[in-house]
Structure 1
Amino acid sequence: MKEKITYQDAGVDVKTGYEAVKKMKKYVEATKTPGVLSELGSFGGLFQLDLKGYKQPILVSGTDGVGTKLKIAFMMEKHNTVGIDLVAMCANDVLCQGARPLFFLDYIGTGKLDSNQAAQIVEGVAKGCKEANCALIGGETAEMPGFYEKGEYDLAGFCVGIVDKDQIITGKDIQPGDVLMGLPSSGLHSNGFSLVRKLFFEKEKIKVEQYLKELGDTLGNILLTPTRIYVKVILDLLERFSIKGLAHITGGGFIENIPRILPEGCRAYIDTDSFPIPSIFTLIEQLGRLEKKDLYHTFNMGIGMIIVVDPKEVDPITKFLENKGEEVYEIGKVGRGEKGVEL
């Protein structure tokens, strides 16, 4: 008789998968909201919409990953923060159209499943969901031997939110004279890491555990700082003020993301001296000898979310946010010209 070969012999350990789900469950349970009808492990995540107060409810969806920032997590063997990044990249995007996030699903792909590592990842996802006031209602963990390096994985996810049709933010009402206000980022967020890794690790040969006086912390801690989730502060603003446009500053920086909300004939003029630039960006600029346009075409430079408003809204919004302990900066204006950004 020929020797029997099992799924486990091929590199897939089903028992480890069951163990991982058990460890994830407490984190998932902590994100439950009244609309959640299903349990972890169901074939599909069930969510009951509460449509009270909506005239024409519209669902808004967004999907994203964490990108090569994951390489920093592998280097540091710290996996409970990148899930926050995953939620942030999706929830902040749907927020830009005025939507309130409802629920989130994640996907973890790995070569060999480590139940402790997977649980740490989901711990971060759950924390991000709680910050975004949405429920983690399901996901998928895929074990694919030979597809990933040992100890490595990839993350992806998607978020679904809801907004009334007449409250959708598209940027169509933006006009010359409007003001751009910026909410600070928590650092690099989750983009530009291919350049960051090449600069710090390949060119400068700096280790993640190395303390850098310019940053006031180890390089790894600064790089792994989670992406800020803007859901609560933006939803507070939307309840009280007229917001014409929202731009989440991710990959492509200012140069690519701001034009996504500008009508034809409108150009954004940014005063780069109007807000503080975190030291990580200054260090990147110095070590990489990067020009200003390259920096603002790659990174958020300290501003993670941009709000476009009528000039009369600037003072009330500023006072409202400052009373809540939030920082906000008037970073530029909308003028006439070809759609784009001028620094």
Structure 2
Amino acid sequence: MDLYKQAGVDIDAGNEAAKRYARLAKSTLRPEVIAAIGGFASGFALDLGRFKEPVLVSGTDGVGTKLKIAMESGRHDTIGIDCVAMCVNDILTVGAEPLFFLDYLAVGKLDVGVAESIVAGVAEGCRQAGAALVGGETAEMPGMYADGEYDLAGFAVGCVNRGQMVDGSAVREGDVLLGLASNGLHSNGYSLVRKLIADHGLRLFQRFPGEEADVAEVLLRPTRIYVKSVLRLLAEGIRVSAMAHITGGGIPENLPRVLPEGCEAQVRRGAWPIQPVFAWLLQASGLPWEEAARIWNLGVGYVIVLPETEAARARRLLEDEGEIVYEMGRVARGERRVAFVD
């Protein structure tokens, strides 16, 4: 045991971390969960009363180089929310309700307090999404990661009735594009962000230009989870034609993925305000707006495409759920792409 510890792996620390994870996971459990964290696997009894034509939907993702900001600042409590958000927002685009989530944390040397903080964020993300945290893996790998470094990824499984899936086939000319505001950068474009921060001499604990918060806080704002707002929209019977999660590639790369052939999304450039973080990035990078929009979300984290007759009611419901909503454009005939218009 001591020899293994000398090689860089602390089994006792791993056991202590697992105990703390189990306590965090309890706050996320759903009644369908059969086995608790600690065994080799977890079970989930799908409610066939609710899902009569069940389609299981899965998604996996990581957090990317945003992790470097967490590690450099010593702030680890929200990065787990990002991990959950990137997965559950993806499966939400087809109308799936997230059911459960598992995470994977790889470290060079296990610091139980840091690991607990990371997984506390994962648990908070699961609570926001209504998903159960049913398990995970912590891998201590000296030599693969330096002390103090880690990587975080995970996956979500959800369910939707086959007849209620949102697949983009209902998109029509004249449909309205509703954008839901982001919390900032979410989890994309950080390699360039970190370069710009370094090039302009910004330090993590100084105030971010145009903000009251410091640089680390602005850059670590967690990805917004849209699950409860969008599921309420669907439950209220709003006819939704398509939905897109705006991640890497921004609006120009993600929105066309849910459009049928012959449909073009015409997005108005001035339809929503530019948040201070994006205003600074645009100025610091010198990038044209259209190119920047392929790297960052520029303030819109999720797009809902729906008939014009549904737009006003949908907006009211989403705002009741706390979302900031922008009518950002319409669907027109054309190539399967995004066209930015004035």
TM-score (norm 1): 0.96
Per-residue deviation, residues 15-39 of structure 1 (Å, max 9, x unmatched) = 1100111222221111111011112
Per-residue deviation, residues 141-196 of structure 1 (Å, max 9, x unmatched) = 00111111220100010000000001111101112111100111011000000010
Is the partner of 2:282 in helix, strand or coil?
helix
Residue 40 (str. 1) matches residue 37 (str. 2): yes
Is the partner of 1:116 in helix, strand or coil?
helix
Alignment-derived partner of residue 211 in structure 1: 207
Is the partner of 1:7 in helix, strand or coil?
helix
Per-residue deviation, residues 214-263 of structure 1 (Å, max 9, x unmatched) = 12211110000000000000000011201110100000001110011000
Is the partner of 1:117 in helix, strand or coil?
helix
Q: Which amino acid aligns with 1:134?
A: A
Is the partner of 2:36 in helix, strand or coil?
coil
Superposition CA RMSD, Å: 1.2
Is the partner of 1:196 in helix, strand or coil?
helix
Aligned ranges 1:179-198 → 2 under 5 Å:
179-198=176-195
Cα distance in 2, alignment partners of residues 40 and 334 from structure 1: 46
Alignment-derived partner of residue 230 in structure 2: 234
Alignment-derived partner of residue 339 in structure 1: 336
- The answer (yes or no) to whether the contact 2:107–2:145 under 8 Å persists in 1 is yes
TM-score (norm 2): 0.97
Q: Which amino acid aligns with 1:37?
A: I
Alignment-derived partner of residue 225 in structure 1: 221
Cα distance in 2, alignment partners of residues 262 and 181 from structure 1: 14
Cα distance in 2, alignment partners of residues 64 and 324 from structure 1: 26
Cα distance in 2, alignment partners of residues 342 and 235 from structure 1: 28
Alignment-derived partner of residue 245 in structure 1: 242
Cα distance in 2, alignment partners of residues 71 and 323 from structure 1: 35
Cα distance in 1, alignment partners of residues 240 and 216 from structure 2: 36
Gaps of 5+ in 1: none
Is the partner of 1:8 in helix, strand or coil?
helix
Is the partner of 1:67 in helix, strand or coil?
coil
Deviation at 1:293, TM superposition (A): 1.4
Q: Which amino acid aligns with 1:14?
A: I
- The answer (yes or no) to whether the contact 1:69–1:193 under 8 Å persists in 2 is yes
Cα distance in 1, alignment partners of residues 159 and 279 from structure 2: 38
Alignment-derived partner of residue 299 in structure 1: 296
Alignment-derived partner of residue 273 in structure 1: 270
Alignment-derived partner of residue 147 in structure 2: 150
Alignment-derived partner of residue 174 in structure 1: 171
- Identity, % of aligned positions: 49
Residue 82 (str. 1) matches residue 59 (str. 2): no
Cα distance in 1, alignment partners of residues 2 and 84 from structure 2: 39
Shift in alpha-carbon separation, 1:295–1:11, aligned structure 2, 3 A: same
Q: Which amino acid aligns with 1:61?
A: S
Is the partner of 2:174 in helix, strand or coil?
coil
Residue 15 (str. 1) matches residue 12 (str. 2): yes
Alignment-derived partner of residue 313 in structure 2: 316
Deviation at 1:6, TM superposition (A): 2.5
Aligned ranges 1:36-75 → 2 under 5 Å:
36-75=33-72
Deviation at 1:5, TM superposition (A): 8.1
- The answer (yes or no) to whether the contact 2:318–2:325 under 8 Å persists in 1 is yes
Q: Which amino acid aligns with 1:175?
A: R
Deviation at 1:45, TM superposition (A): 1.7
- The answer (yes or no) to whether the contact 1:111–1:148 under 8 Å persists in 2 is yes
Cα distance in 1, alignment partners of residues 67 and 223 from structure 2: 13
- The answer (yes or no) to whether the contact 1:23–1:116 under 8 Å persists in 2 is no
Is the partner of 1:216 in helix, strand or coil?
coil
Is the partner of 1:49 in helix, strand or coil?
coil
Cα distance in 2, alignment partners of residues 126 and 184 from structure 1: 23
**Runs in 1 of length 4+ with deviation above 6 angstroms?**
none
Shift in alpha-carbon separation, 1:324–1:40, aligned structure 2, 3 A: closer
Cα distance in 2, alignment partners of residues 155 and 242 from structure 1: 36
Cα distance in 2, alignment partners of residues 114 and 188 from structure 1: 28
Q: Which amino acid aligns with 1:190?
A: S
Q: Which amino acid aligns with 1:212?
A: F
Deviation at 1:123, TM superposition (A): 0.2
Structure 1 stretch 124-133 or stretch 214-223: which is displaced more? 214-223
Q: Which amino acid aligns with 2:145?
A: Y
Q: Which amino acid aligns with 2:227?
A: V
Deviation at 1:325, TM superposition (A): 4.2
Residue 136 (str. 1) matches residue 148 (str. 2): no
Is the partner of 1:243 in helix, strand or coil?
coil
Structure 1 stretch 322-331 or stretch 114-123: which is displaced more? 322-331
Shift in alpha-carbon separation, 1:323–1:123, aligned structure 2, 3 A: closer
Cα distance in 2, alignment partners of residues 212 and 277 from structure 1: 15
Deviation at 1:73, TM superposition (A): 0.2
